[in-house]
Amino acid sequence: MAEITADMIKNLRERTGVAMGKCKEALVLAEGDMEKAIDVLRKAGMAAGVKKEGRETKEGLILTGEDKNSLVIAEANVETDFVAQNDRFKHFVHDVVKQALETKPASLADFAQQPYYKDKSISIDQYRNLLIQALGENIQLRRLETIHKHPNSSYGIYSHMGGKLVVVVEIEGSSDQEGIAKEIAMHIAAENPEYLKPEEIPAHVRAREEEIARSQVVGKPENVIEKIVAGKIKAVEEQLCLIHQKYIKDNTVTVQQFLEICAKKLGKTLSVRCFWRWKVGA
């Protein structure tokens, strides 16, 4: 029998999506023959979708779920929008969110190996493979994140295009302002800010923008150049940073100013702590 190497196990894992331990067992049973090992896994219902694993998945669905202490975002991808609209696929994503909310996995890889709560004889990854066989398309659980809620924060969720674009916003300073958080989430969905505030813009991005700005004012006096460059950098900040963007429902104020107006009415101090903007396939 051929020696079962770590590379062989890794290769089988990549081809089937099955756990490393199960891949090793299959290779031992198949005496090191890769194709026979795949057949072993397929007969066990663990690698039903192996031939479809390499297909490109650009469609899909993003869902959220929450309880008192946590919020989960999950994205699953498929090949076509037709299957993305299929009830069995939607149930799969709902089940993923429900289970992740209960188990709060440390990583997507750990989650994939958890026993599926409705049928503990199979893992989440085996459930996914069985669905591939049933629906005839590659299905990938692309990303999963658990957000641990802060006691003095509000969370707004906005889902757009039937779950193809989802935004979650955390507002710090109050635990009962989901409405304001959702308003800002709708703004983020439309305006797609890359950063929360100017301090988050990476140094290399600033350097590139400054270089571009300086290239556009060659030949002008130095004091004029500095003012123009500063103005252009400020314009970049207003475009890229959420708090400096013009609020989409009232462009006479920025998002920061909109939040300050809301906070004043409530007699509170509110600020955007962070946001998540997920788009299918992006």
Phi-psi domain of 50 (left: phi exceeds 0; alpha: psi -120 through 50; beta: other): alpha
89 neighbors 173 (Cβ within 8 angstroms): no
Predicted confidence at residue 201, as pLDDT, reads 96
* pLDDT at residue 202, rounded to an integer: 95
Give, in order, the Cα–Cα distances in Å from 146 to each of 62, 64, 65, 181: 14, 10, 10, 18
Q: Does residue 167 contact residue 276 with C-beta atoms inside 8 Å?
A: yes
Q: Is the pLDDT of residue 43 over 90?
A: no
- Share of residues in the chain with pLDDT > 90 (%): 69
* CATH number (domain holding residue 35): 1.10.8.10
What is the tens place of the pLDDT at every residue in 147-200? 999 999 999 999 999 999 999 999 999 999 999 999 999 999 999 999 999 999
pLDDT above 70: residue 66: yes
- Whether 48 has a pLDDT exceeding 60, the answer reads no
Give the model's pLDDT for residue 219.
Answer: 83
Residue 103 scores a pLDDT above 60: yes
How does residue 46 score in pLDDT terms, banded at 50, 70 and 90? low
Q: Is there a single domain that holds both residue 99 and residue 17? A: no
Cβ–Cβ < 8 Å for 49, 138: yes
Say if 161 falls within a structural domain: no
pLDDT category at 1 given cuts 50, 70, 90 is low
- Find the mean pLDDT for residues 100-129: 94
User: How much is the pLDDT for 282?
Assistant: 86
Task: Describe the chain by its helix, strand, coil percentages, rounded to 5.
Answer: 50, 20, 30
With bands split at pLDDT 50, 70 and 90, how would you rate the model's confidence at 244? very high
- Average pLDDT value over all residues in the chain: 91
Q: What's the rounded mean pLDDT across residues 121-135?
A: 90
Q: What is the CATH number of the domain that holds 139?
A: 3.30.479.20
Domain that holds residue 144: 53-149
**Residue of higher predicted confidence among 190 and 43:** 190
Mean pLDDT of 206-216: 88
* Domains identified in the chain, total number: 2
> Could you tell me where the beta strands, DSSP code E, fall in the chain?
59-66, 70-78, 115-116, 119-123, 140-148, 153-160, 165-172, 271-279
DSSP 100-134: HHHH--SSHHHHHTSEETTEEEEEHHHHHHHHHHH
- Specify whether 67 is located in the same domain as 126: yes
Same domain assignment for residues 15 and 81: no
Residue 255 has pLDDT above 60, yes or no: yes
Average pLDDT for 117-134: 91
127, 149, 171: which is the final residue of a domain? Answer: 149
> Do the domain assignments include residue 63?
yes
- The answer to whether residue 104 is domain-embedded is yes
Query: What's the pLDDT at 51?
Result: 54
pTM of the model: 0.79
**Same-domain pairing of 57 and 73:** yes
From its phi and psi, is residue 106 left (phi > 0), alpha (psi between -120 and 50) or beta?
Answer: alpha
* Confidence at 217, pLDDT banded by 50, 70, 90: confident
pLDDT digits (tens, 9 = 90+) for 56-65: 788 999 999 9
The stretch 247-275 carries a mean pLDDT of 97
**Quick one: pLDDT at residue 97?**
98
Same domain, 59 and 42: no
